[in-house]
A and B are shown apart, each in its own frame.
Chain A
Amino acid sequence: ALSADWSADKDFKAIGKVSAATQRNLEPVGPHFLAHARRKRHQRTFSEDERI
């Protein structure tokens, strides 16, 4: 349901921001962490990582 007076450039409107994050330690265990570490070390994004 879209109200009639709603409009935005390219149909996208940014309204707010995400609240400050909490700094925590990941447990360096499991396949998903190792994938995360690989992306972080090589500064790859998710999609770049998937292509490799």
Chain B
Amino acid sequence: MSDETSGAGERFAIGISFGNTSSSIARINPEGKPEVIANEEGDRQIPTVLSYIGGEQYHGSQAKAQLIRNSKNTVAYFRDYVGKNFKSIDPTPCHNSAHPIQSDSTVAFSICDTESDTPNTVTVSEITTRHLRRLKQSATDYLGKEVNAAVITVPTDFTDAQREALTAAAKEAGLEVLQLIHEPVAAALAYDARPEATVADKLIVVADLGGTRSDAAVIASRGGMYTILATAHDYELGGSTLDKIVIDHFAKEFIKKHKTDPRENERGLAKLKLEGEATRKALSLGANATLSIESLADGIDYGSTINRTRFELLSNKVFAQFTSLIEQVIKKADLDVLDIDEVIFSGGTSHTPKIALLARSIFPETTKIWAPSTETTAINPSELSARGAAIQASLIQEFETEDIEQSIHPMVTATPHLSKAIGVEFSSGDAVEFKPLLSTETALPARRVAQYNVPKDGGDVLIRVCEGVRDIKVTKPEPKPKEEKAAEDEEDSDFDSEDEEEETREIVWKTESPIAELAVKGVKANGKVELMVHINADLGLQITAREVGGQSAVRGAVESP
């Protein structure tokens, strides 16, 4: 492997999503759009599996197929072991493939990876290097140009040791890791980089539903910059949980007919797993799916079908776990479903229609749910991470290594964020209304400009810049006509237990404390006033207001506290 990857000019970078179950490679195509690259077998979701027979190495789908006949020399589900202490890992996913063993303090596998029959101890770092080398080769073959750098996505709970180990393993594979980025942020970037997307302040939940684990994150997107507010993880929930339901269903059917349990036979179980997964995936696309396995157990061939309704019925409980993971992360961020503007479904299991439909039902209608079953323009959830990584790779590949390091340094990323929204208070008569201009959790320094309509007759206008907080107003359904007078009172102390109608909940803004007042005088009728608020990192403010089209502006500064 050549190691001449330090010269920035020589760099050719791709985006890699490296998962426990599958990995993807992506680049920015000549039209400027991110594109996931298929490997030589035509797979875009390349199974993260390596297998060895007679010294020959198999990768991806070919290696995955070896889980039936050659499971001991097949390594799978190893991403989460990279850079980890043996004692801290959960070996469960590897029950049907090469088992992780301890080698010094790290994790290794004992496999026959040469022509000799005596197994070698191969560390998880080395396995990762081999896997990345194959991914690099696939990308290089496709692009016809040596790929030598990458942006790789990692989960938000990856430790520094894991990051270092992954970076080192990639280097061994001849890939300079330009940056490791978080999977949910990559997914958000993949959506925000679409040409039709506009920069807006929004709160996003990314639900990354994988094969063996699922992760959720709440991200504040402010002026196109992302801040993670909370994360939640479930290390036992994923596509394989759903596969098990399909497997158990078919196994029971098989037992009824043939009186033996195919799951008790190692090879039978491996076949069921492989085919059961394919069947479960087919149910995401069609209303029916078939399963057929040659010689499943006792030499008996087996074929059957399952329909989506049946599968959804059997999976109800698991589906609820996915939605509760989403609710959990929102709660952890101290937010409400009403606060969430977008839910991005990422990861292969997000293709399951029912999961997104269940999420649809817990969020308000205004929340965008990005999944294939809820939004026709949704991006393929399996591709989001890799696309995000490719976009980031294209943004930084021209940078000097030192520049990248400095830019992602904590000195730069540690930033004060607004703890309360800043906006404008409007009063007409007795009613006071607050409209946020800078959202909470906006990274500083920040600047926002907005235009407001002035009262019809124009004249002198007072602008009150205030801090505001959002509250959730719960309105009980209108009580029976007799109690009409109390209907308007939101804090009706009369507790009506007979009420079965659902209460309505909405966001209301309240002014908390005023910051400054500005007067724009002599505004024309039907005119508009433009307000610009600039906040420094030290919380000092500069405020400018002027009539749109007018000559003079009112300016002032509020000192930092």
Contact = CB atoms under 8 A, between A and B. Distances in A.
B559 A24 contact: no
Contacts of B460: 1-2
B199 interface: yes
B557 A31 contact: no
B218 interface: no
A47 to B, nearest CB: 9
Contacts of A10: 554-556
Interface in B484-527: 513-521
Contact of A15 (B228, B515, B559): B515
Interface in A21-48: 21-34, 36-38, 40-41, 45-46
Nearest to B521: A11
B443 A36 contact: yes
B474 interface: no
Contact of A19 (B420, B520, B556): B420
A21 B515 contact: no
A48 to B, nearest CB: 12
Nearest to B404: A28
Contacts of B199: 32
Interface in B420-447: 420, 422, 427-428, 441, 443-445, 447
B547 interface: no
A6 B515 contact: no
A38 B539 CA distance: 20
Contacts of B8: none
Contacts of A15: 514-517
A19 B225 CA distance: 21
B440 to A, nearest CB: 9
A18 B422 contact: yes
Interface stretch (B62-70, B95-103, B181-189, B348-356): B181-189
Interface residues of B, number: 71
B408 A18 contact: no
A8 interface: yes
Contacts of B516: 12-16
B392 A20 contact: no
Interface string B550-561: 000011111111
A12 B555 contact: yes
A17 interface: yes
A24 to B, nearest CB: 5
B517 A8 contact: yes
Contact of B441 (A6, A8, A24, A45): A24
A12 B189 contact: no
Contact of A27 (B185, B395, B419): B185
Given A17-B559, A27-B226, A41-B406, A46 B447 contact: yes
B33 to A, nearest CB: 15
Given A17-B515, A18-B422, A31 B182 contact: no
Most buried by A among B179, B417, B461: B417
Contact of B515 (A11, A16, A30, A32): A16
Contacts of B560: 17-18
B535 interface: yes
B227 A24 contact: yes
Contacts of A23: 414-417
Contact of B539 (A3, A18, A28, A32): A18
A1 B427 contact: yes
A3 B459 CA distance: 11
B303 interface: no
B189 to A, nearest CB: 5
A3 B460 CA distance: 9
Nearest to A38: B407
B53 interface: no
A14 B515 contact: yes
Q: State the 4 A-B residue pairs at the shortest beta-carbon distance, nearest first.
A: A32-B224, A12-B556, A21-B416, A2-B460
24 contacts: A2-B460, A2-B462, A6-B517, A12-B516, A13-B518, A15-B516, A17-B559, A18-B535, A18-B539, A19-B420, A23-B416, A24-B227, A26-B415, A27-B225, A28-B179, A30-B392, A31-B395, A32-B199, A32-B224, A34-B395, A34-B407, A36-B225, A36-B443, A38-B407
Given A10-B556, A27-B182, 19 more contacts: A2-B521, A3-B462, A6-B519, A11-B520, A12-B543, A13-B516, A15-B516, A15-B517, A16-B515, A17-B558, A17-B559, A18-B541, A22-B418, A24-B441, A28-B179, A28-B413, A30-B192, A34-B407, A40-B412
Interface of A: 1-3, 6, 8, 10-34, 36-38, 40-41, 45-46
